[in-house]
Structure 1
Amino acid sequence: MRRIRILILLVILPINAFAQEEQWYEGKPISDIQFEGLGTVSENELLGLIRPYLGRTYTDSLSWEIQSKLYALDYFNIILPDLRPGISNPEGVALIFQVKEKPQVEDVLFTGNTKVRYGVLADEVLVKSGDLLNPGSLSLDEQKIVDYYLEKGFIDAEAVASYIVDELTNTASVLFAIVEGKQTKVSDIQFVGNDEHVSDKTLKSLMKTKPQSFFGKGLYVETKLQEDIKAIEQYYKDQGLINAKILNVDKEIVIDEEQNLAKLAITIVIQEGDVWTYGGMNFDGNSIYQVSELEELVLQQPGEVFNSSRFQMDIQRIEDLYYENGYIFNNFAYEEIRDSEQHIISYDVKITERDLAYIENIIIRGNDKTKSYIIRRELPLEEGEVFSKSKIIDGVTNLLNLQFFSAVEPQPYPGDEDGLMDLVIEVEEGKTSDIGLGLTFSGGPDFPISGQVSWSDKNFLGRGQIIGATATASPSVQSVSLGFTEPRILGLRWSGGAEFRWGHSVNRRINMDLDGNGFPDPYLTWNEYDAVGRIVPRDHQMQYDSHFLSTTFSTGYTWITRLGRFGASTGLRLAWEFVKYDPTVYRPHSKNIRENLETWKYDDSISLRVSWDTRDLQFNPTKGFILSESVTFAGILPASRRDYIKSITRFNFNQLLFKVPVNDEGGYFQSIFYFNTAFQALLSKPWINETVDRQRDGFYIDGMFVARGWEPNSGYRYLWDNTLQLIFPIAPNILDFDIFLDAVGSWVAKDGRFKSSNALLKMNIHDWRFSLGGGFRFANPQFPIGIYLVKKFRWNIDGDIDWNPEPRLAEFKKWGMDLVIAFKLDIY
């Protein structure tokens, strides 16, 4: 017995000693977490997961928690933990994970795909070359391939995924074996049972499924057919045929071996039933709003043929009345009452009214760069306020108008107590900074091409401030500008900004007056000058160098009301110019240029602008208008050498023409009508007898912003710019297709000094330039460039249309058309 006890003791002692040796890590902090066996996966990718565990006291359960999170990454097939003395801290524990990574996908291959290209299928599947192999996700890719084939009419398509692993390199090749089957096309669609109320033609117009024809492929897609059935049933309900139903959809397939097609004839069997009339809506349980107030929202009148869609719209208006005023927890129950003898359908609406819903928390998510307070100040509601659907919609519009975000999604959630709710604003940040290297075009007679370097950020440091710098260089013009704008001074809708600019330019084709008679050389009277169309020969013109400095300060305020956004702004510009030319050879006709010779001359101006803006979005709007008036007074101080008044009156209107869904992912095809008109006038100050220099201060046609495609021309006292445009977004906010008609009228004064003018009174069709064109345009605010094919035309003095008014400039001589690069920027 004693021997047995001694033997047991000899066995227990080593076990206890071993157990005590294995417990050395208990109570010690985790000082290091490392990985052995990493290949494709970078340790930096794992730092975010393991960092919170450093410094915590080690336990087995903590180790298992870390392992479970590592397995959840789907990076590893095997994870084996090991404990070692601390590396960075000898008093701690080093947790070492020996891992075996999942194989890296080297190739993604497809077999059996004779009708669909490899690139299309590669885009459809989630697995890509370079990914870690996850066998469980391959079934999703199988379904995505089948779904794509179904959308193309291959109703029997199959896809099976397999993979081969190279253990030596730990790489895998994924293979999708595809059985395409025959493509099915609809050969005919027939209806049975619609003999009394609805014609075949009407029903076919409701369907997305179409028979094969010269204009359509006729692909059979089951999901589209199910949508068509719902559309037909809804149409019947909107005609008062509330009992109408699709009894059966017969499908007969005929195999066309010659074309390797399955042709499908579809027969839809309908039971129409009788027409029902609307008996009205009764309300019960409403105390917040009177019955008369609710009835005003019901547009469908008793006695009319019942329309299900109009009924749903009436219901939505009633619910919105409550929601928009903060009663979002109400319950609405609709009891249908049918009079089968007289075929009258009525509804009893039982409303369970709850207390007002107050916003407990406003939570901002997704804003990595933009400060939360920048987003909050655009929301017209605060925590503690009554919930308002209309205010939330206004807030979303305000945020989109910042052009900081590509998407804004508000979501209400229940709060901690009854009557409270949380408003979560999910935002997806877009690109707000831009660095540009390229070419730009400056207006004027010579239209020089310039190299440009620019940097701008309209959300500087995430604070909503606008900052930018631009440097331009060409043989004719060099300039540097710096600008800064704060859109919200003191948190109000009060903006302020400043811009500083230095530049040098070579001004060419300047009229001279060597004999000092007051008329441009070589003319002796204004009548002679007018008789040749105010054209001066090149050998009677000169050039001069100009250096200039300018600084501009601006401020403005915006009032947001139910009628739209009303704005008022002002700007002060101070400028100095230094002119240099050889006075022994040249004498400019302009007195201002002569007096500016080798001396700094001062100019100033102040501008005022008021606007009324109802557009939904300020960039790429789909509805609304903007009406604005801008006036500039040049010559505030006596030292200023410029004295004139400029006026710009502008009206812009936008309207969504149609918006048609094109897929189940929210895609749509739409068109927007765009109309813009702006009248600009350069006026003399009636109280000052000074000459206005139209070449320097007048308006010009640049061919890119104004009168697209036309040769640049300047020196106009009046300019009327009009555009009609149809916009078709191809990829919303990325690429648009435009069709436009530009009509631009331009006028100069009768005399050269601009003291008086009857140019507008003698307006005729010959004063207008027209551009008809179409093309593609990038719909991104940072890159609003369009490439258009343009046909210019103009009426001659005799009343005939000249379809090729600038033949020497046309790139396509045969058609008299031009390839034009233009911009969509709000220059007014």
Structure 2
Amino acid sequence: MTAGSKLLRAASALALSSTVLATSLGASIVLAENAAAAQVSRVEVRGNQRVDADTVRGLLAIKPGQNIGDADIDEGVRKLYSTGLFSDVRISQQGGTVVVNVSENQIVNQVLFQGNSKLKDEQLRAAVQTSSRGAYSQATADNDVGAIREAYTRIGRSDAAVSVRTIPIENNRVNVVFDINEGDRTKIGQINFVGNNAFSDGRLKEVIALRESGILSFLQRNDVYDEDRLRADEETLRRFYFNRGYADFRIVSATADLDASQNKYFITFTVEEGERYAFGNVNVDSTIPGVGGQSLQGELKTRTGDVYSAQKIEESLVSLTNRVAANGFAFAQVTPRGDRDFNSRTISVNYVIDQGPRAYIERLEVRGNTKTRDYVVRREFDVSEGDAFNQVLVQRAKQRLERLGFFEKVNISTAPGSEPDRVVVIVEVQEKSTGEFSIGGGYTTGGESDGPVAEIGITERNFLGRGQFVKISAGFGEDTRSYQLSFTEPYFLGRRLAAGFDIYTTKNTSESYDVERTGGDVRIAAPITTELTGQVAYNFKSEEFGDDDGVSIGRFRTDANGNFVQPLTTDTNDDGYSGPSELLRSTCDDPNPLGYVSSSRSGEATDFSNAPKYTRSRIINAAICESPYTTSSISYALTYNSLDSSTDPRNGVLATFGQEFAGIGGDANFVKTTAKASYFQQLIEEYDVIGQLSAGGGNVSALGGDLRVFDNFFKGQDIVRGFDTKGMGPRQFEIDSDGDTVGRGVSIGGENYLNASAEATFPLPGISRDFGFRGAVFADAGTLWGSEYKGEYGVVGTDLNLRASAGVGLIWASPFGPLRVNYAHPFLKEDYDRTQELSFGFSTRF
């Protein structure tokens, strides 16, 4: 290499080194300048009008002296946006100054709804997040549009159209307007079931809550499709099949397809029923020392050979858990283990009892209740905060809450507590209407006065959200008036004691005399077992009679000229009456006032033509002359109830037995015993034919004296349909000279009664079950007999003479409540009985 070349290379290297050095120094200078610029000296806020600058700086969390980067600026933007106060946020750095440019959201002056009629403004305001005096956010308003559409979907208007707009006003405020086109109701066109063989479509439609649209759907509102209702119906179907032996049942799919052209949903449940099972061997195994499985067998509700039922297993779990807990093992866990035999189609169940993990309830939260008080929900739990957590007892509380009838849905879930052994129990409820407006009535024929009778009432089963029962009712008829007030507190003194009272007043003139009864009772009831309840009560009644002329039992006989024919009848001493002046005695003022012959109300002895031409009842008059008459008594009753439903039973028993003891003061002295039992059984599952057998009876006996006639039983259509209210049993008549009964007679009641009834109800063929119609056929038999006046004063019907009737009924689950019309024909009766062949009644909830 030449010297020149070496010199040139050295110069080049030196120049390169100088360039690298200069570049490095430049870079260092730039970085230093950037580092100096990143340190904040102050924060400047621009564009704010209502929000104070210091408030923005506090929200931003960028302080003078702080070194910031892009990440800090991004975080600041995010924080300011999250407040909902601003529609635009920009942050930049100019030297040591951080400049925050904001555009404030407009303030909402009013939220308005236009075009809505099916949902009120209050309902829509509860659905949206945009509110008056809040900051307007377009994103929130868009979400509100979806919420309003969802609210309309829940009431069956899926095609409702909703849009939102703003109307600016002064001071950067706006009115937010939601424009609504409610559209037509989206109906349920058809509900189909695929894969069902054991039960028809019609039977399964009765099980679920959703209904096909019909001519009365605008009143019933049960044809509204909702995703939650569909899911709930899936669970209802599962329980229906599981409780009827189909342990393998599953729902393959449940779909709801909207036909936009018809604006109707078509719902299809695809199911697999599987085989039907019965219970095999049922045993109890306990790993807890001192708790033997054999001793717990009596707690089981499952029996070998019975049709498999998930509900019976649940009841067994509750019963076993309560029994073991009562023995001091609060953490005991009962687990049912099934062994399925596919050949014999049986499921053997082994209940295994172990000492479960120790967990305590830290807190019990109630959510979703707007009317019902928290304590009404809490008191249905047998466990509370601090108690041992037991899943079975929690599920038992869920069943109790569902049976209250206060809620559409009850969901209970758990969440971890503050410690590993702590559990939070969350109860979510959806309330429903608990009020009821009722109307009942009938048409009386063949009695003292024909014509319609009616009763109206208002009932609230969750009064003021306290779980209290209140009912006010009034009855009206041609000759009757009645008013009643009832109140029940289901948890008296904080215990599961139902205490209450009833007050009533009635006035009746249907038997040709006026009687006004005023009274009431104070009662308290307590559960003895899950199915048995006991009640005790104090009762008081006062009766006053307003017509001391007495009661007609027949008309005087006259000759062709209208003159009385002698002898008319005989008096109590069989002396006969010597002349017409005897007709003018005052019924209750005469020393011997109780003969058959009536007095003249005018008191004009000289004008015989004005004398009333009726004979009167000695027996009824004797009671009338004792007015006012008071009855003071104590009573008790035992009620056994194993019905599967209190409103629409298909299986189970309802039985009552009670006694009343009068003589605790007052004028009456008697003991009255009554009993009644009804047995329900589904006769044909597929066609939903339900059978009912009922029987009852009663006896009243005097205590230390005579039994007053009004203390007897007065029976009729309440034990044998087709008869008047007091249409059967002993009656008093006028007896003519030939010994024959004359006139209409009057009921004097009986000391004993027996009755029995058989009935079957069924869906009406050829009519869609969605209309809610059912038919009924029935046969009743009964008798009312026994009287101390047997053979005296023209009294007949004191013997045990059977009455019977047969009839048909029409039952309609109407939009106003269950309506029933009965027509009963008495085919076995006495000539003097009174009939009422047609009757009806219904009630409705609000």
TM bin (shorter chain): 0.5 to 0.7
Structure 1's 476 and 177: CA in aligned 2 closer, same or farther, altered over 3 A? closer
Q: Deviations over 1:123-178 (max 9, x none)?
A: 49xx99xx9xxxx99xx9xxxxxxxxxxxxxxxxx999886xxxxxxxxx658999
- Residues 557-596 of structure 1: matches in 2 within 5 Å? 557-561=525-529, 564-581=532-549, 582-583=600-601, 584=603, 585=611, 588-590=616-618, 593=621
- Partners of 2:317 and 2:334 within 8 A in 1: no
Q: Which residue of 704, 720, 732 maps to 1:707?
A: 720
Q: Distance in 1 between matches of 2:463 and 2:641?
A: 27
Q: Which residue of 470, 477, 481 maps to 2:480?
A: 477
Which residue identity is paired with 1:569?
A
Q: Deviations over 1:577-624 (max 9, x none)?
A: 433545545685437747967x96342332412314243466555324
Q: Which residue of 720, 735, 741 maps to 2:753?
A: 720
Please tell me the root mean square deviation across aligned C-alpha atoms, in Å.
6.3
In structure 2, what is the equivalent of residue 604 of structure 1?
631
Q: Distance in 2 between matches of 1:64 and 1:693?
A: 81
In structure 1, what is the equivalent of residue 809 of structure 2?
775
Q: Distance in 2 between matches of 1:374 and 1:628?
A: 30
- Normalising by structure 1, we get a TM-score of 0.54
Structure 1's 490 and 474: CA in aligned 2 closer, same or farther, altered over 3 A? same
In structure 1, what is the equivalent of residue 452 of structure 2?
449
Which residue identity is paired with 1:790?
A
In structure 2, what is the equivalent of residue 84 of structure 1?
168
Q: Distance in 2 between matches of 1:807 and 1:379?
A: 57
Q: Which residue of 665, 669, 677 maps to 1:636?
A: 665
Tell me by how many angstroms 1:103 deviates.
Answer: 8.5
Tell me by how many angstroms 1:106 deviates.
Answer: 9.3
- The SS at the match of 2:293 is helix
Tell me by how many angstroms 1:726 deviates.
Answer: 4.3
- Residues 61-460 of structure 1: matches in 2 within 5 Å? 62-74=137-149, 82=166, 84-85=168-169, 90=171, 93-97=172-176, 104=183, 123=213, 223=270, 226-227=272-273, 230-231=274-275, 287-288=287-288, 293=293, 354-364=356-366, 367-388=369-390, 391=393, 395=397, 404-405=405-406, 409=410, 411-416=412-417, 418-419=420-421, 420-422=423-425, 424=427, 426=429, 428-434=431-437, 436=439, 446=449, 449-460=452-463
Q: Distance in 2 between matches of 1:717 and 1:282?
A: 53
Query: Considering only CA atoms, is the larger Rg found in Structure 1 or Structure 2?
Result: 2
Q: Distance in 2 between matches of 1:715 and 1:600?
A: 17
Tell me by how many angstroms 1:501 deviates.
Answer: 1.9
- Partners of 1:708 and 1:822 within 8 A in 2: no
Q: Distance in 2 between matches of 1:568 and 1:349?
A: 38
In structure 1, what is the equivalent of residue 672 of structure 2?
647
Q: Distance in 2 between matches of 1:469 and 1:83?
A: 51
- Partners of 1:411 and 1:424 within 8 A in 2: yes
Tell me by how many angstroms 1:700 deviates.
Answer: 2.4
- Normalising by structure 2, we get a TM-score of 0.53
Identity between Structure 1 and Structure 2 (%) = 15
In structure 1, what is the equivalent of residue 107 of structure 2?
30
Structure 1's 472 and 408: CA in aligned 2 closer, same or farther, altered over 3 A? same
Structure 1's 650 and 483: CA in aligned 2 closer, same or farther, altered over 3 A? same
In structure 1, what is the equivalent of residue 780 of structure 2?
742
Tell me by how many angstroms 1:650 deviates.
Answer: 0.2
Q: Distance in 2 between matches of 1:346 and 1:769?
A: 50
Which residue identity is paired with 2:695?
N
Q: Deviations over 1:732-774 (max 9, x none)?
A: 997665443322122133645999x9999xx66xx11122344
- Partners of 1:671 and 1:729 within 8 A in 2: yes
Pick which of 307-316 and 646-655 moved more: 307-316
- Partners of 1:554 and 1:570 within 8 A in 2: yes
The gaps in structure 2 that reach 5 residues or longer are 1-43, 50-86, 89-100, 151-159, 190-209, 231-254, 300-304, 342-346, 550-599, 604-610, 729-746, 764-768
Structure 1's 678 and 400: CA in aligned 2 closer, same or farther, altered over 3 A? farther
Tell me by how many angstroms 1:680 deviates.
Answer: 2.9
- Partners of 2:335 and 2:351 within 8 A in 1: no
- Partners of 1:750 and 1:759 within 8 A in 2: no
Structure 1's 572 and 383: CA in aligned 2 closer, same or farther, altered over 3 A? farther
Q: Deviations over 1:496-519 (max 9, x none)?
A: 31414263x4354xxxxxxxxxxx
Q: Deviations over 1:360-412 (max 9, x none)?
A: 4444456554434334334444343334566557656655665x447564534
Matched, 1:555 2:634: no
Tell me by how many angstroms 1:460 deviates.
Answer: 3.0
Q: Distance in 2 between matches of 1:316 and 1:480?
A: 41
Matched length: 585
Q: Distance in 1 between matches of 2:371 and 2:787?
A: 53
- Partners of 1:588 and 1:594 within 8 A in 2: no
Q: Distance in 1 between matches of 2:663 and 2:364?
A: 48
- Partners of 1:545 and 1:580 within 8 A in 2: no
Q: Deviations over 1:659-715 (max 9, x none)?
A: 84x6xxxxx93635433312233x3333x3x4x443x33222322x12111352332
Structure 1's 463 and 362: CA in aligned 2 closer, same or farther, altered over 3 A? same
Q: Distance in 1 between matches of 2:821 and 2:620?
A: 40
- The SS at the match of 1:422 is strand
Structure 1's 463 and 95: CA in aligned 2 closer, same or farther, altered over 3 A? same
In structure 2, what is the equivalent of residue 54 of structure 1?
132
Q: Distance in 1 between matches of 2:352 and 2:618?
A: 82
Tell me by how many angstroms 1:628 deviates.
Answer: 1.4
Q: Deviations over 1:788-816 (max 9, x none)?
A: 3435333xxxxxxxxx87799999xxxxx
In structure 1, what is the equivalent of residue 53 of structure 2?
none
In structure 2, what is the equivalent of residue 685 of structure 1?
703
Structure 1's 322 and 809: CA in aligned 2 closer, same or farther, altered over 3 A? closer
Q: Distance in 2 between matches of 1:568 and 1:398?
A: 24
In structure 1, what is the equivalent of residue 694 of structure 2?
675
Which residue identity is paired with 1:684?
A
Tell me by how many angstroms 1:633 deviates.
Answer: 1.5
Tell me by how many angstroms 1:655 deviates.
Answer: 4.7
- The SS at the match of 1:700 is coil
Q: Deviations over 1:472-513 (max 9, x none)?
A: 44442344444444444433415131414263x4354xxxxx
Tell me by how many angstroms 1:647 deviates.
Answer: 1.2
Structure 1's 791 and 604: CA in aligned 2 closer, same or farther, altered over 3 A? closer
- Partners of 2:441 and 2:840 within 8 A in 1: no
- The SS at the match of 1:561 is coil
Q: Distance in 2 between matches of 1:810 and 1:347?
A: 55
Structure 1's 418 and 740: CA in aligned 2 closer, same or farther, altered over 3 A? farther
- The SS at the match of 2:143 is helix
Structure 1's 740 and 321: CA in aligned 2 closer, same or farther, altered over 3 A? same
